[in-house]
Chains A and B, each alone.
Chain A
Amino acid sequence: METLERIIGEHPFFAGLESYYTGLLVGCGANIRFQPGAYIFKEGEEANEFYLIRSGRVALEIAAPQHKPIVIETLSEGDILGWSWLLPPYQWKFNAHAVLDTRAIALDGKCLRTKCEQNHDLGYEVLKRFAQIMERRLEATRLQVLDVYAAR
């Protein structure tokens, strides 16, 4: 049987993290599953968790008045979902819904923030990983807004 510690330790987001720290994270984590179409969170709601996606696919969407929602990014196996839990005001900025049957580990944001405050080495490890994800997604978004495939 797979333990939560092993699943968290083997997720690409926490690759290379010392097992001591993985052990600290386990207390904040829980297995979770979303059916296709289910909303994981919605814009404006309190951001209490983030998710290590184990399988399936999640769409991040944004909605503007009088427009249908637009999917701006999808996330799949090995990705993480959500960083609004990390920074005030701890509110989601987008909607997220499962496109496919999705399994994930949900990590309690408050619990993790507390542990990061108590152990700054863990906090630094977590922030380093989030910074890398943010940098990659920012680069991808910049390329996306260029609309490079449009006819010119």
Chain B
Amino acid sequence: MATAVATDVMIPQPYLVRDVSKETSDTFTLKLAPEAGANGNSFQPGQFSMLWVFGVGELPISISGDPGQHDQLVYTVRSVGQATNALVNQSVGSGVGVRGPFGKGWPVEAARGRDVILVAGGIGLAPLRPVIYEVLHHRKDYGRLVILYGARSPRDLLYRKEMAAWARHRDTQALVTVDYGGMSWRGHVGVVTTLFKYARLKPSNSVAMACGPEIMMRFVARELETHGLSRDDIYLSMERNMKCAVGFCGHCQYGPHFICKDGPVFTYTQMKPLLEKYEL
């Protein structure tokens, strides 16, 4: 029986590309729908899928869509190599294999009744977008929503229109910064940690979730701790080379953890000793 379950999770399900939209020069959002027309694509914010481009390879990609929308799965993909390039160049109607969803996601249930602080860098906003949808769909269940987002330049910002719309929601503060701003950019310039001083935080009743380059998360977690959040209330989404996605192959082992199965979301308490080891 165990073998049958293991086999099932290793078999990609056929999906069709419903839409491909360009977010930035190298980043695209794909909407996939099951070929069989099923309507049961449930996932937890922060989970990921393995996307199979037939004849090219398989990739772990975080789900970036609305968890309340069950007729499709949405992924935001940065084209940085052969497989991601093939994925973002899929035409509407072409077939893609999907395994998952996998992994332990963001603590959206544990965050109910508390303020939610989201800190994203670059494409790290994509795995956090489902949390934003979840909070906004159940607005009364959560306290303040604070979104701090940093990118390399104004041209690299994801979901710009949505970000502006999120900022207009009640009890929501959305701040955006870029590392390098041109003269026409009227927003903040500086790394994402510089936004903390402008954020209205209530650390004693807040849960923070951060996603972005690992070094950014190191600095962000330290900053959150300096502001008074406990390490158990700071969550980080980690990334390693995931292959099987179910803890069999060991490719994504990080210290004692398998990122695919035990994560990708971990508390800062779990990650702090590992983040400070350069060898890992």
Contact = CB atoms under 8 A, between A and B. Distances in A.
Contacts, number: 71
B259 to A, nearest CB: 18
A151 B181 contact: no
Interface string B181-223: 1110111111101100110000000000000110110010000
A144 interface: yes
Given A76-B198, A78-B198, A79-B197, A147 B179 contact: yes
Interface string A78-103: 11000000000000000000011000
A150 B181 contact: no
A74 B122 contact: no
B26 interface: yes
Interface stretch (A3-11, A65-73, A117-125): A65-73
A148 B215 contact: yes
Nearest to B177: A74
B198 A144 contact: no
Which has the most chain B C-beta neighbours within 10 Å: A71, A78, A144?
A71
A143 B189 contact: no
Given A68-B183, A144-B179, A151-B26, A78 B197 contact: yes
B198 A148 contact: no
Interface residues of B, number: 31
A73 B195 CA distance: 12
Nearest to A143: B191
Contact of A71 (B80, B121, B189, B193): B189
Given A70-B180, A149-B122, A149-B156, A144 B80 contact: no
Nearest to A76: B198
Interface of B: 26, 78, 80, 121-122, 150-152, 156, 177, 179-183, 185-191, 193-194, 197-198, 212-213, 215-216, 219
18 contacts: A70-B180, A71-B181, A71-B182, A71-B185, A71-B189, A76-B188, A100-B186, A139-B193, A139-B219, A140-B193, A140-B194, A143-B215, A144-B179, A147-B152, A148-B122, A148-B212, A149-B152, A150-B152
Given A73-B194, A149-B156, 17 more contacts: A71-B182, A71-B185, A72-B189, A73-B190, A74-B181, A74-B189, A78-B197, A79-B197, A140-B190, A140-B191, A143-B216, A144-B179, A144-B190, A147-B152, A148-B212, A149-B151, A152-B80
